[in-house]
Chains A and B, each alone.
Chain A
């Protein structure tokens, strides 16, 4: 299931900048995975050819370090269970992939904003701060607001 912690995650295994962390820690095998290729195709509209090459229709041949911050975060969330990643590095076009990863395994991510999951119904997301499971975008929005999960500290 997809578990989301809203606000400032206190754990030492938290990665605030998945973009930078990816560049220095990615494993080749992550980039040979079919799901990673589909994520890159859908989110970045590019072809992940392997660990050393991405073909972008705009940028041409680029290294994997030039993938978007959002898709880098997704790949790490999918492959690195040791860390809690800042999913606020992901645009709303990554939300479907977060849910898909969460269908296959338990993952915990952090959000500093309320991501738009509207296209998927029903949702199945556990709010890690409270343990509550929500099943729709409205329920998610209401719980985060009414419980003030983004009220303390700096949002984002």
Chain B
């Protein structure tokens, strides 16, 4: 399933309007704001159609999924938007993560759970706002992919330490950059360890770099830690390292629309997340060029050249990666 879908669900007392454009979207937020009511309205429409009094407007069908035979129901309903309420304990299971993979569906999950088995994008975590007419509002706000809603006055942020989630190519890239600038760069070896590594440096200015396309399970705690240590933590969440390389124009021959409008091309049946999609684009775009051939585990020297590093620095606007005046190499 590809594309962006506008959805409107309403009855005489409530109206919900939102758009979905990735395979997984999360709705969470405060208690008592109408999340479960949205689920129940879709469920009633599924059961009784128009005679329920609920109207649904969307180019795709919506299916409110309950506990029973959830895996069968998903398999029987390709092409639909599947909505799952927070009571559904199965969404925390590995079996559910496996079921979501390669499905021709989008999933709207109403949950406060972290769901670390699923690659959830920081961009697709919403809360409800509004009284009768409710809309989805993105919880984590950004300026040029710097989260969570950092005051513009802090940017660009000058770090003492860069911590990357990645331990392969992305880390090698930023390690070279940090070495040249006299900064420290450390890999957390995965998203679940970012906070622990960050907490090793309570008095330093720390810049975190992680894949926004899959950081959803960790972002709540990262944002909380950031709010408790103002001006000391900057969180940079590009879609992925490969998205940076593609977005900065380092590799030629790639259709720009595929980078700027991934929702049109990143089929949920082929890619569990946009991180996988951008990696696939970069691998395919460089496979015939020996010196550029992208490898997630080992970064070719081409990407460590000064010219490439300089273009990426220009692309990452929120972090100050300039050489300090008087810096001695």
Instruction: Write the residues of chain A forming the contact surface with B, with a CB cutoff of 8 angstroms.
Output: 16-17, 19-20, 43-46, 57-60, 67-71, 88-94, 112-114, 116, 118, 137-138, 141-142, 145-146, 150-151, 154-156
Are A70's CB and B31's CB within 8 A?
A: yes
Are A138's CB and B228's CB within 8 A?
A: yes
Residues of A contacting B111 in the complex (Cβ-Cβ under 8 angstroms): 156
Are B31's CB and A58's CB within 8 A?
A: no
Are A116's CB and B224's CB within 8 A?
A: yes
Partner of A156, one of B113, B195, B221, B228: B113
Residues of A contacting B132 in the complex (Cβ-Cβ under 8 angstroms): 58
Are B13's CB and A45's CB within 8 A?
A: no
Chain A residue with Cβ nearest B134? A58
Query: B219-237: contact bitstring with A at CB < 8 Å (1 yes, 0 no)?
Result: 0110011011100000000
Alpha-carbon distance between A137 and B199 when the two chains are bound, in angstroms: 14
Partner of A91, one of B31, B192, B195: B31
Are B32's CB and A60's CB within 8 A?
A: no
| Stretch of B85-93, B247-255, B314-322 lying at the A interface | B85-93
Extra inter-chain contacts (9) besides given A68-B31, A88-B112, A91-B33, CB under 8 Å: A60-B13, A69-B31, A71-B31, A93-B31, A94-B31, A112-B114, A113-B113, A145-B195, A156-B114
Interface residue B119 (Cβ < 8 Å from any Cβ of A): no
The interface size bin for chain B is 35 or more
Interface residue B14 (Cβ < 8 Å from any Cβ of A): yes
Shortest distance between the CB of B313 and any CB in chain A (Å): 31
Alpha-carbon distance between A51 and B195 when the two chains are bound, in angstroms: 45
Alpha-carbon distance between A94 and B29 when the two chains are bound, in angstroms: 11
Alpha-carbon distance between A127 and B30 when the two chains are bound, in angstroms: 23
Shortest distance between the CB of B199 and any CB in chain A (Å): 6
Q: B181-207: which residues lie under 8 A (CB-CB) from chain A?
A: 192, 195-196, 199
Residues of A contacting B217 in the complex (Cβ-Cβ under 8 angstroms): 155
In this complex, the member of A59, A112, A146, A156 whose beta carbon has the largest number of chain B beta carbons within 10 angstroms is A156
3 closest Cβ pairs, A-B complex: A70-B31, A156-B113, A44-B32
Are B225's CB and A91's CB within 8 A?
A: no
Partner of A46, one of B32, B115, B220: B32
Interface residue B19 (Cβ < 8 Å from any Cβ of A): no
Partner of B32, one of A20, A71, A142, A151: A71
Are B31's CB and A17's CB within 8 A?
A: no
Residues of A contacting B92 in the complex (Cβ-Cβ under 8 angstroms): 154-156
Residues of B contacting A142 in the complex (Cβ-Cβ under 8 angstroms): 199
Alpha-carbon distance between A134 and B149 when the two chains are bound, in angstroms: 28
Are B87's CB and A113's CB within 8 A?
A: no
Are A141's CB and B113's CB within 8 A?
A: no
Shortest distance between the CB of A10 and any CB in chain B (Å): 16
Chain B residue with Cβ nearest A45? B32
Shortest distance between the CB of B99 and any CB in chain A (Å): 15
Are B131's CB and A113's CB within 8 A?
A: no
